[in-house]
Amino acid sequence: MFIGIDHGTTAMRFSTGKEDFKISREDARHFSVDDLTRLSPLNEIEGIAVCYSMGDGISAITDIRKVNNRGVISQEGAGKHIGGGTRVYDEIKGSGLPAVVIPGLHRGSPTDPRFKAYSHQASPEKIGILYEVTHDLGEDVVVCDASSNTVTLLTTGGRITGAFDACIFAPGTLHGALDVDAIRRIDRGDSKANDAFLHAGVDRTMPPELRVETMAMFAAMECAAMLLINPGARIALAGSMAPAIAPGVEALLSRKVAIYDEWCAARGLARIARDVYSGATGILGLAVER
């Protein structure tokens, strides 16, 4: 049995690819490895793929026993720090179960070097989404994950080409890029940068009647930007807002999009665990170090 663990914005999701469960990130602070028995007896678990925070301290899929500082450069950064993800990671590492840590995408990643104008491109759970979607749609795919934040990734010939991180381009419901007003508030000392990021989504910046339409427009713009690099790529939407924004994205891009649910990341991570522990030496162009 193989398990994928998605460190999402609001919840931790666990999946074998067929069976799933989730717990809030607050409740995850009390997670025990025995909770995995909801999916499988512990002695039948052959491999786990786990995510943690931005994953910017590693660039390869790496055995958890070889990873320092949970695979991150620092706990500081864009995101909400609760402690549930830390608890899950430490429980998995301490259990002795076979596990690999998925990297995020950053300047040390084997993506198109032009994307490295920005220090960070995507967090690790997005790799799970991308792997699940490429399994269904093929090697040339644009995937936009739209929920609390919005992140869009591209594969070309089965390799990750690049991504737009949540703090760069399209807003989500809660989080978004820092505009001029946000920068001024930070400079005045009225807000911390991370707090401004956490409150820059459409739920704070747009009236209710324009929120879905706004997210659809910016998601479509990110997808269109990726299509400049790979015009033949198919398009998929994932995340809690995918069904709501899909009609708008399809209309703006004049093409159909595939829709994936909230379990896409965890199921894709379970697929990664299965393939890694079956001998894969690379996943979407990312090296495997076991």
- pLDDT (average), residues 131-137: 98
Q: 162 falls in which pLDDT band (50, 70, 90)?
A: very high
Residue 227, burial from CB neighbour count under 10 angstroms (0-12, 13-18, 19+) = middle
Of residues 83 and 101, more confidently modeled: 101
Sorted by where each begins, the domain ranges of the chain are 2-170+208-289
Q: How far is Cα 123 from Cα 54, in angstroms, rounded to an integer?
A: 5
Which contacts of 19-22 are long-range, i.e. CB under 8 A and separated by 24 or more positions?
20/263, 20/266, 20/267, 22/262
In tens, the pLDDT along 239-269 reads: 999 999 999 999 999 999 999 999 999 999 9
| Stretch 165-193: mean pLDDT | 95
Q: What is the pLDDT of residue 52?
A: 94
Dihedral Cα 7, 11, 15, 18, nearest 10 deg: -140
State residue 9's pLDDT score. 79
Average pLDDT over the chain, rounded to whole? 95
Is 90's pLDDT higher than 70?
Answer: yes
pLDDT level of residue 191 (50, 70, 90 thresholds): very high
Q: Which two tokens stand for residue 269?
A: 């991570």
Write down the architecture of domain 2-170+208-289 according to CATH.
2-Layer Sandwich (3.30)
Average pLDDT on 145-170 reads 96
Asked if residue 270 lies in contact with residue 17, where contact means CB atoms within 8 angstroms, the answer is yes
pLDDT at 80 over 90: no
Q: What is the pLDDT of residue 76?
A: 64
Of the candidate ranges 6-20, 69-83, 116-130, the one whose mean pLDDT is the lowest:
69-83
How confident is residue 64, by pLDDT bands cut at 50, 70 and 90? very high
The answer for 277, left when phi > 0, alpha when psi is -120 to 50, beta otherwise, is alpha
Residue 79 has pLDDT above 70, yes or no: no
